[in-house]
Structure formats: structure tokens, C-alpha cells
Amino acid sequence: MNHLAHCFLSDGKEDILLGNFIGDFVKGQDWKNYKPGVQTGILLHRTIDSYTDSHPKTDISVNRVRPFTGRYSPPFVDILYDHLLALHWDKYSETEFDQFAANTYRMLENRASEMPVMLQERLPKMIAGQFLHGYRTREGLDWVLDKFSLRLAGNFDAQALSNYFFDELESFSGDFNAFFPDLVNKTNEFLDSHRDPNLK
């Protein structure tokens, strides 16, 4: 899963959100250098990623896009699934999307000084561009796919991938809606086992 899902699955807790948001930038045992609540968020990020990568329904989506994205298919599916979460938002959240996004932007800004330097530098532009909102539209999704493809070694036709995805949107939605409730349950199990009454 990508930014939107990681933020959504952070239980509305600022410490967990921070850890989940920076998870890709914290390597090895470096998670131990953070305060307990942020540690939980980092470990939650890793749990979400590993569970997503091993789920049979995401495998189906990965195989669908493999002709377009090769060995990078899993992270491309992560991006596509964020669009599907935004598309099916009301199915999974009782909080209106704009309110969720505003709360998330505010909490991330509150904790920017604790983020790795690269994210500290990126965050103002991300929030100014309302990066979570970008996953709601085809235009926003195409922008993310294009930017991501430019970071990778190889030639990727992000537009062809997008065209295929939207042509097969019903099939991808079926994969996602069979997978995401399982991920929510896995996340809740993880958080229940790491419950800390002192979390912000």
C-alpha cells in the first residue's frame, strides 16, 4: 500500500501516523531509536507491507500489471490500490475524506521535525499539493504513476498502465475489496497487541 492506506491505517494516532509515514526511510534496527509510539508505527508499516505482498488477491493484481511493470509490479499495485481506497472510501471509513486528509496533514506538520531530513524537505510541497487528495482522481493517479516510473531503472509506459487499469477497473476493484478488509483486520490485530494508553 502507498501513502493513503498507510495514513488511513494509523488509527488516528499521531505517533503511529508518524512512524507509519516514515517507515520506508527507517532501515534495519533504526526503529529502536524512536519513542515507543513511533516505533509501533514503523513496525506497523512493515507489517502492512509484508501482509500486502503475501496476500493472494494482491498477487492477482500484480500479475495483471506485470506486462507493463515487470519486477516493479508490487509497488505499482500499491499506488493503484491507494486510488481504489479513495474510490471506495465510504465503504471503509465513517470520516469524510476531506476531514481525514485535513487531520492527517495537520498531524504530519506537527511532527515534521522528527522525520528523516529527506521527508522534512519533501513534506511542505506534499501538503501544499494535497498529496492524499491526488489519489482520488485519474489525473492525480497518472501524475503519481508517472513520477514513480521516472525513479526506476527501465522504460515504463505509465499511460499504458493507467489505460489498462481504468479499462479493467471493475476487476481491480474486486481484487482490492477482497483484500482490504483482511488488511484492516491484520492492522487491528497488530495495534491491539501493541496498545499503549500513552499514545497521542
Contact between 68 and 49 (Cβ < 8 Å):
no
Query: Does the structure show a pLDDT above 70 at 199?
Result: no
Query: Does the structure show a pLDDT above 80 at 196?
Result: no
Q: What are phi and psi of 192, to 5 degrees?
A: -60, -35
Instruction: Using CA atoms of 4, 6, 11, 17 in order, give the dihedral in degrees to the nearest 10.
Output: -100
The pLDDT tens digits for 47-68 are 999 999 999 999 999 999 999 9
> Quick one: the chain helix, strand, coil %, rounded to 5?
80, 0, 20
Tell me the C-alpha distance between 85 and 161, whole Å.
Answer: 18
Which pLDDT score, from 0 to 100, does residue 126 have?
94
The pLDDT tens digits for 104-158 are 999 999 999 999 999 999 999 999 999 999 999 999 999 999 999 988 877 789 9
> Given pLDDT bands bounded at 50, 70 and 90, which one contains residue 103?
very high
Which pLDDT score, from 0 to 100, does residue 198 have?
60
Contact between 44 and 190 (Cβ < 8 Å):
yes
Which pLDDT score, from 0 to 100, does residue 164 have?
97
Mean pLDDT for all residues in the chain: 93
Longest dimension (CA), the chain: 48
* Per-residue burial over 89-119, b = 16 or more CB atoms within 10 Å of its CB, e = otherwise: beeeeeeebeebbeebbebbeebeeebeeeb
Calculate what percentage of the chain has a pLDDT beyond 70.
98
Which pLDDT score, from 0 to 100, does residue 197 have?
61
> In the numeric block, which cell numbers belong to residue 32?
529502536
> Given pLDDT bands bounded at 50, 70 and 90, which one contains residue 24?
confident
Which pLDDT score, from 0 to 100, does residue 200 have?
54
Q: Rounded to whole angstroms, what are the CA distances from 198 to 8, 14, 49, 50?
A: 20, 11, 26, 27
Q: Rounded to whole angstroms, what are the CA distances from 158 to 76, 141, 151?
A: 10, 10, 12
Q: What are phi and psi of 102, to 5 degrees?
A: -60, -45
Instruction: Using CA atoms of 181, 182, 184, 186 in order, give the dihedral in degrees to the nearest 10.
Output: 170
